Amino acid sequence: TPAEIAAAQRDTPVVLVCFDLLHFAGLNLRAAPYRDRRRYLAQCLLPSKHLQLVHLAENAEQLFAAALSHGFEGIMAKRLDSPYQAGRRSRAWLKIKAAQSAEFLIGGYTRGQGAREPLGALLLGYWEGKSLRYAGHVGSGLDDEVIGVLLKRAARLERRTSPFADPPPLHRPTRWLKPQLVAEVSFSEWTPGGALRAPVFVRLREDISPRSVRGRAGDAAARAAPQAANTPAAQAAALAPVTTAGEAAAVLEQLENPANRLELAVGGARIKLTNLDRVYWPAAPRAQPATTKRDLIRYLARVARFMLPHLADRPLTMIRMPEGIDGERFFQKHWAQALPEFVESVTVFSEHKDEKHRYLLANNLPTLLWLGQVGTLEFHVWHSRAQPSPEAAGAQTDYASSLAALESSILNYPDYLVFDIDPYIYSGKEAQGAEPELNKRGFAVGKRVAFWLRELLQQMSLEAIVKTSGKTGLHVFVPIERTVTFDEARHICETVGRHVMRAHPKDITMEWAVEKRTGKIFIDYNMNVRGKTLNVAYSPRGVPGAPVSMPLSWEELEAAEPMDFTINNVPARLAKNGDRWHDVLETKQSLTQAFGVDRKVGRET
């Protein structure tokens, strides 16, 4: 139906990128040079947001660096005079990748720590004659589902001795396997010592015979691949909001070191990590293993390229728990101490104390990992950004000189309308005066309220997005153009909330007195205030089970439960499905039609 097509376009936007044209107006163009085929292709296409002509550049080194900085695996290089040769590999077309992949045999596995205790890393090898040569170990890329499959398959292949010709270096308890499982692994290059550098598990290969895995695969490709690590573009990418899979893989490889303290290299940055074996989340029900500080930093590295766009340029409030969730916890908005060079900050005027405060901005991978090192378990951000681009160019950026300057700045204009849906339906197990704990009935009614809210917003031609809070509630956001102040956004959300409440008075409350909320769902519109924060998408929560605030499609919300999403399974979900909010800053909506808000006069018309 048209509605289903529209929903699919919102939830899973698809772009057709055209790179060649073989026939045109009855002409067979396969023998024509690529420069002519591309010219015909450009004449045929009328580009739109769903149809694009593939980008072309003559400077391959610059394009390669740009591709890596945006998370792509590499580029295609084509000779302009090359014909189209169907079904044939040719030196006229080259795939140039920063990483390569090859097949390796699994000769055993080591135990891990914390959440990865059953399986930490796979021991890889290849046949050289009749000898199995050790090629290194890989732990990156293994998620809960893959580990489950591997353990089941490995149970039938266990042996008492090492299958490798030479004893591999071991740091953890090890189980040896008959080399009959084949894994595809991506890696950057071979080290001088004959091991894989920055390996990442890709998949099991059922279609590859174990006896065919011979020799050091990828040597020639590694020598041919351009090395961009020392180029200015690559160095800049290390501190860019977009984090590549390769950067994360390099971090994950270093975290395989079992030492309790280590210095982490992230591009040009260095971060001293300590107490990596400290338990941050004790073991919890539903077979949730203990989760350590190492697991937290590993999680942050794996989700960084999805999480950083939602953190970028937003003043950050940290909830730090350096001893774990059972130790002391404290909110930290401002940072007066010295900062590492890679950490960006913004100074903001405080209307309450008539002074200035420095807020941190989590704008790059080193900062995100450093925040994990200092015990930040929850990341809470403003709903506005200290960055006018792209749609508010020319907006004021003086946030610190006075209250008037702050109110006139882009930080006073939110990116979202925010509805915080908070169940006050008690399980009956809470201590006297305590907030409601998570229970299925409360969350189910909260979901029902979220759908009612979405339905009303759709009647106003506004599309909402949703995520779990990571605890008991839900956050419903409406991405908007930055044309209304926080005061106006708060008024709009209160109006919408009261309309939904009038339609469902038995289920919804907007009472500020906590004792009057019992048995109902509280819609909190007061989050639409400058300086108020909510936990950012993919932020862990400092409660048992290590849950995560998880963006969902509305279809996924129907069957979702908050504890479905933890730091142990979210990376695998993201690798499979991507970020449900990936286009949240590109799909902004105008409030003029729905509410008649006029930016020029700053009030309703």
Q: How far apart are CA 248 and CA 104, in angstroms?
A: 22
Q: Which of 158, 190, 224 is the last residue of a domain?
A: 224
- The answer to whether the beta carbons of residues 259 and 273 sit under 8 Å apart is no
Question: What is the per-residue pLDDT across 460-493, written as a single tens digit (0 to 9) for each?
Answer: 889 999 999 998 899 999 999 998 999 999 999 9
Cβ–Cβ under 8 Å, residues 183 and 103? yes
| DSSP assigned state of 530 | T
Residue 215 lies in a domain: yes
Domain-embedded: residue 445: no
Cβ atoms of 399 and 386 closer than 8 Å: yes
Confidence of residue 241 (pLDDT cuts 50, 70, 90): very low
- Report d(CA 370, CA 375) in Å as an integer: 9
pTM beyond 0.75? no
Hey, what amino acid is at 269? Answer: A
Residue 40: which residues within 8 A CB-CB, separation 6 or more? Answer: 21, 24, 29
For residue 62 the two structure tokens come to 């610059």
Q: Are residues 179 and 109 in the same domain?
A: yes
Q: What total number of domains does the chain contain?
A: 2
Within this chain, do residues 91 and 104 fall inside the same structural domain, yes or no?
A: no
Could you tell me if 78 and 108 lie in one domain? no
How does residue 261 score in pLDDT terms, banded at 50, 70 and 90? very high
Rounded CA-CA distance 182/202 in Å is 11
**Residue 440 domain-assigned (yes or no):** no
Instruction: Please answer whether residues 383 and 416 qualify as being in contact, where contact means their C-beta atoms are separated by less than 8 angstroms.
Output: yes
Helices (H), ranges, 167-324 = 219-224, 232-237, 245-255, 293-311
Q: Which residues pair with 96 in a beta bridge?
A: 75
Instruction: Report pLDDT for 236.
Output: 33
- CATH number, position 30: 3.30.470.30
Indicate the residue among 224, 242, 270 that finishes a domain.
Answer: 224
26 with 116, same domain? no
Residue 590 counted as domain residue? no
Please give the Cα distance from 553 to 574 (Å, whole number): 13
> Residue 592: pLDDT above 90?
no
The domain spanning residue 152 has which CATH number?
2.40.50.140
Q: Phi, psi at residue 100, to the nearest 5°? A: -125, 165
Last residue within a domain, chosen from 97, 121, 148: 97
Q: 88 and 135 share a domain?
A: no
Q: Cβ contacts of residue 433 below 8 Å, gap of 6+?
A: none
Whether residue 207 is found in the same domain as residue 120: yes
Ramachandran region of residue 254, left (φ > 0), alpha (ψ -120 to 50) or beta? alpha
Same domain, 207 and 111: yes
Q: Is the pLDDT of residue 527 over 60?
A: yes
Distance CA 466, CA 460 (A): 17
Q: Who's near 97: CB < 8 A, 6+ residues apart?
A: 73, 74, 225
Per-residue tokens: 485: 């102040």
All residues at 6 or more sequence positions from 505 whose CB lies less than 8 Å from its CB, including other chains:
none
Looking at residue 242, its pLDDT comes to 46
Are 46 and 30 found together in one domain?
yes
User: How many percent of the chain have pLDDT more than 70?
Assistant: 87
Q: What's the pLDDT tens digit per position in 108-153?
A: 999 887 777 889 899 999 998 889 999 999 988 888 889 999 999 9
Structural domain of residue 41, as residue ranges?
A: 2-97
Q: Are 209 and 171 within one domain?
A: yes
Residue 283 vs residues 212, 291, 546: alpha-carbon distances, Å: 42, 7, 10
Q: Residue with structure tokens 């439960």?
A: 561
Render pLDDT for 49-101 as a digit per residue (tens, 0 to 9).
788 888 888 888 778 777 766 656 678 888 888 888 876 666 788 877 666 77
Same domain, 84 and 120: no
Mean residue pLDDT across the chain: 84
Check: CB of residue 490 under 8 Å from CB of residue 595: no
CA 368 to chain CA centroid, nearest Å: 12
Q: How far apart are CA 288 and CA 291, in angstroms?
A: 8
Q: Kindly report the backbone phi and psi dihedral angles of residue 136, in degrees, each rounded to the nearest multiple of 5, phi listed first.
A: 120, 180
Which residue shows structure tokens 């890329």?
141
Confidence label for 435 from pLDDT (cuts 50, 70 and 90): low
Side chain identity at 119, as an amino acid letter? L
204, 134: one domain: yes
DSSP helix/strand/coil, 556: helix
Q: For residue 104, is it within any domain?
A: yes
Helices (H), 437-485: 440-459
Distance CA 489, CA 599 (A): 12
The answer to whether residue 497 sits within a structural domain is no
Residue 582 located in a structural domain: no
